[in-house]
Amino acid sequence: MIHLANLDRPVLVTGCAGFIGFHLTKRLLIDGIPVFGLDNLNNYYDVSLKNARLKILQEFTSFRFQKQDLIDNDALEKLFLKERFPVVVHLAAQPGVRYSDKNPRAYLDSNLVGFFNILDVSQRFKVSHFVYASSSSVYGLSTRLPFSEHDQADHPVSLYAASKKANELLVHSYSHRFGMPSTGLRFFIAYGSWYRPDMALFKFSRAILTGEPITLHNNGKMQRDYIYIDDLVEGILALLIRPPAPNREWSGNHPDPATSSAPYRVYNIGAGHPVEMSYVLKLLEENIGKKAVVELVSMHPSEVQNTCADITDFTRDTGYQPKVPIEEGIKLFLEWFLDYDGSGRTIPTA
């Protein structure tokens, strides 16, 4: 077990100005753990939101930041040579399922080349635990619910999902070859304050306020496993201090995708309670006090119909369970969102 409070070097968090990266970094700093943050501050969504998050982090004296793209391998190596990070939490990536249909090159550069660069330099500088963001999207065409890490996940339906599955395979090869302890976190849908404007809750809330139509795919019958950001961060922290050991019972005759004879592990992090998107919209309407204009359409080819996390392993190994139900989480999200100027266009200063 790693004791973060005893580390003499900062934890590296890539993507620290992103939604999850910001919340994790802030929590580490509040707990007295120094953090070195990397982010390229790309313009996939409003950069002013990323800069506002970053401004909050920079109020902590134990936080240092460097704007950097992980494609720049030379700069990355110089940074590791100087800092010698003991733990790496790699959250930087090109997000978005549908956007991968329009701009596939961005996913190859960030999620494959950039990912390999941070993985390789982490191994060469002997980090004690490499933790990285995977995604529930890797389950793809699987309809066996709840999604279990122990089931095969080899049929992604988007390039984004394929890039995340490729990440898991790359990491396993490094854990096997070099013995580097590594944990992949298959995030389900995290939400909360300082949310991404490209995500459904943000877009739905803005559309309700402005009277713009909301498109519900699969006629609103799609189900998603939403986890409140504070719960997600607690889960990351619980796993961060527990680098995996080899599974001594692992067998190549019956290979378990979630574990390995190497120090490698993959976990789901979700609430384990999927909700229908029509119900999510209803909660937003009730809390905002205004009805939405809704257009019901068929399934999008890059989306899956239902997601639900089996969190049995996560709970067993950490003792932690998500606490915030969707009804409470929506209220907390809207408390932040409605601090905007009524349409989500003005970034609050705190």
Token output for 191? 């939400």
Token output for 10? 């900062």
CA-to-CA distance for 319 and 165, rounded, in angstroms? 27
**DSSP letters spanning 180-200:** --EEEEEE-EEE-TT--TTSH
Token output for 280? 């999510």
> Of 239, 249, 307, which is closest to residue 277 (Cα–Cα)?
307
- C-alpha distances (whole Å) from 295 to each of 201, 234, 248, 302, 341 are 16, 36, 52, 19, 26
Given 99, 107, 139, 160, which residue is catalytic? Answer: 160
CA-to-CA distance for 324 and 271, rounded, in angstroms? 9
CA-to-CA distance for 261 and 50, rounded, in angstroms? 39
CB-based contact 10:1 (threshold 8 Å): no
267: three-class secondary structure by DSSP: strand
CB-based contact 134:187 (threshold 8 Å): yes
160 in active site:
yes
Residues 6+ apart with CB under 8 A from 203: 197, 214
Residues 6+ apart with CB under 8 A from 334: 205, 284, 287, 288
Please report, in angstroms and rounded to a whole number, the separation of the first and last CA atoms in the chain: 35
Token output for 2? 């790693």
Residues with a catalytic annotation lie at 160
